[in-house]
Chain A
Amino acid sequence: MKKVILSIIVLGSFGYYTFSQSQNTPTVAYVAPQTVVTKKQTTPVDQTTTPVTIPVSVPVSTPTPVPVTKPTPTPVPVTKKGLYNDGTYTGDVADAYYGNVQVQAVISNGKLANVIFLDYPQDRSHSLQLSQRAMPILTREAIQAQSANVNGVSGASDTSAAFQQSLTSALSQARA
């Protein structure tokens, strides 16, 4: 808990610093220590799921306050689908339209312990040359299910379906 409090203090003062700096510049504050945003917490698992709401320098043209997000438990991965024989099983190649998806299921102690992508459509295997300039701090929030009726839904359904297909075939081989 101390680490969390310490993190909040560090982030808070960092945010204040960012905000105060932004008073001198008309654009979004750019800050150097990217590690603050992306740092890996080494605290126990239950604390890593606590959302960190980074203080943000709100642009002048956006008077609406950023909604404060309450911490919610991260959805727990469903990794147990019955008992399987230990080992590594390769699923069928599934067509995700953008390319192929193929996964390997690793069963340990009768449970699905790991899923490895052997083929993946989004991977373009090119080195990433992102500009090295300092990154702005962006607003974060824990996702929460919404109940609103909507006209449509945006999601990565095609890849997901192919993943399910390949994983299902891998698990069917592993079934005890």
Chain B
Amino acid sequence: MKETRITMGMPATIEIVDASATQEALNMVFDFFNSVDERFSPYKTGSELSRFNRGEITENNVSTDLKTIFALAEKTKQDTNGYFDIMHNGVCDPSGIVKGWAIREGANILRKNGFKNFYVEIAGDIEVSGRNGDGHAWTIGIRNPFNRDEIVKVVHLSNTGIATSGTAVRGDHIYNPKGDARPNEIASITVIGPNVYEADRFATPAFAMGSEGIQFLEGLPNIEGYMIDTKGIATMTSGFTKYTRALTF
């Protein structure tokens, strides 16, 4: 059973392979994604996050989920040597981790309901569990950052998360004037981790680090990465190839 809907302004796909799959189970996850958007969107003036940013509620009386997100953001800030920070010019925007967190929580909803074989995706960030419909590991393509209709790598995943950060543009003409003013050398960076939250929270800062991002990933335990530079050359972490071979169960 598989369905794609738009949530948080992005396409979300859920597939449940288990024979016990129901429409109700899919709805539960989609409803959760919609509630995340309603509560944590920085663009919705009525969201809990916007009310927090306007000072209408304080850090002490926000919801449990928002407290969790604040705590996760703080941990990621420490894990990235301060490179990842949800505070920008006095405004809190935790979007950089909310998506990965939401996908993982969506996958957890399915787990709590007894499902073992499923796929949960929002806009290219994916968590997979168990096996696909053919009884094999889930096969995920890494999109060509120069041609969104192509994939340039296939990885075989089970009980794993994958997230990609990047841009569809290429060449040496892209500058990031807010950063260190050097041309952005990286087209995309894909991160595989024990779950999609772990993958996603490191993908964004790794991309912002430029060509050093892959070395940053190399130093993280249980995290692998595949970086594509603007010349079409990929660099992978030393353990990445374990995902490029078909898994046997």
Residues of A at under 8 Å CB distance from B? Answer: 28, 38, 48-49, 51-52, 56, 59, 62, 64, 66, 72, 74-75, 77, 79, 95, 97-99, 113-131, 135-136, 138-146, 148-160, 163-164
A74 and B232 contact, Cβ closer than 8 Å, known pairs A64-B245, A145-B151, A152-B13: yes
| Pair B237/A138 contact, Cβ less than 8 Å | yes
User: Smallest distance from the beta carbon of B159 to chain A beta carbons, Å?
Assistant: 14
Which residues of chain A are near B214, meaning CB under 8 Å?
Answer: 138
Tell me the complex Cα distance, A120–B190, Å: 18
Specify which of A66, A95, A144, A151 is in contact with B241 (CB 8 Å cutoff): A66
Which residues of chain B are near A148, meaning CB under 8 Å?
Answer: 139, 141, 151, 154
Tell me the complex Cα distance, A95–B37, Å: 14
Which residues of chain A are near B129, meaning CB under 8 Å?
Answer: none
Please give 9 more A-B residue pairs, beta carbons under 8 A apart, in addition to A146-B141, A154-B125: A49-B231, A59-B238, A97-B10, A130-B215, A135-B218, A152-B13, A152-B119, A152-B121, A160-B169
| Pair B141/A152 contact, Cβ less than 8 Å | yes
A143 and B141 contact, Cβ closer than 8 Å, known pairs A75-B146, A130-B215, A154-B126: no
> Does any Cβ of A come within 8 Å of B19's Cβ?
no
> Does any Cβ of A come within 8 Å of B1's Cβ?
no
- The number of chain B residues with a CB under 8 A from chain A is 85
| Pair B235/A155 contact, Cβ less than 8 Å | no
| Pair B234/A154 contact, Cβ less than 8 Å | no
User: Smallest distance from the beta carbon of A162 to chain B beta carbons, Å?
Assistant: 9
B140 to chain A: closest residue by CB:
A152
| Pair B173/A117 contact, Cβ less than 8 Å | no
| Pair B231/A74 contact, Cβ less than 8 Å | yes
Grouping DSSP codes into helix (H, G, I), strand (E, B) and loop, the A interface class, with mixed when no group exceeds half, is loop
> Does any Cβ of A come within 8 Å of B170's Cβ?
yes
Which residues of chain A are near B139, meaning CB under 8 Å?
Answer: 148-152
Interface CB pairs A-B, < 8 A, 7 = A79-B173, A98-B96, A116-B174, A120-B176, A129-B83, A139-B235, A140-B233
> Does any Cβ of A come within 8 Å of B209's Cβ?
yes
Specify which of B99, B150, B233 is in contact with A141 (CB 8 Å cutoff): B233
> Does any Cβ of A come within 8 Å of B105's Cβ?
no
| Pair B188/A155 contact, Cβ less than 8 Å | yes
User: Smallest distance from the beta carbon of B209 to chain A beta carbons, Å?
Assistant: 6
Which residues of chain B are near A152, meaning CB under 8 Å?
Answer: 13, 119, 121, 126, 128, 138-141
Residues of B at under 8 Å CB distance from A? Answer: 8-10, 13, 15, 43, 81-85, 88, 93, 95-96, 99, 119, 121, 123-126, 128, 132, 138-148, 150-154, 162-171, 173-179, 184, 188, 190, 204-205, 207-209, 211-212, 214-216, 218-219, 228, 231-238, 240-242, 245
Which residues of chain B are near A97, meaning CB under 8 Å?
Answer: 8-10, 95, 99, 123
Tell me the complex Cα distance, A2–B34, Å: 59
Specify which of B147, B154, B164 is in contact with A75 (CB 8 Å cutoff): B147
Which residues of chain A are near B184, meaning CB under 8 Å?
Answer: 117
Specify which of A128, A153, A160, A164 is in contact with B83 (CB 8 Å cutoff): A128
| Pair B209/A130 contact, Cβ less than 8 Å | yes
A151 and B138 contact, Cβ closer than 8 Å, known pairs A98-B95, A156-B164: yes
| Pair B236/A156 contact, Cβ less than 8 Å | no
Instruction: Rank and list the top 5 A-B pairs by shortest CB-CB distance, nearest first.
Output: A155-B143, A160-B168, A74-B232, A156-B166, A143-B152
| Pair A38/B211 contact, Cβ less than 8 Å | yes
User: Smallest distance from the beta carbon of B1 to chain A beta carbons, Å?
Assistant: 14
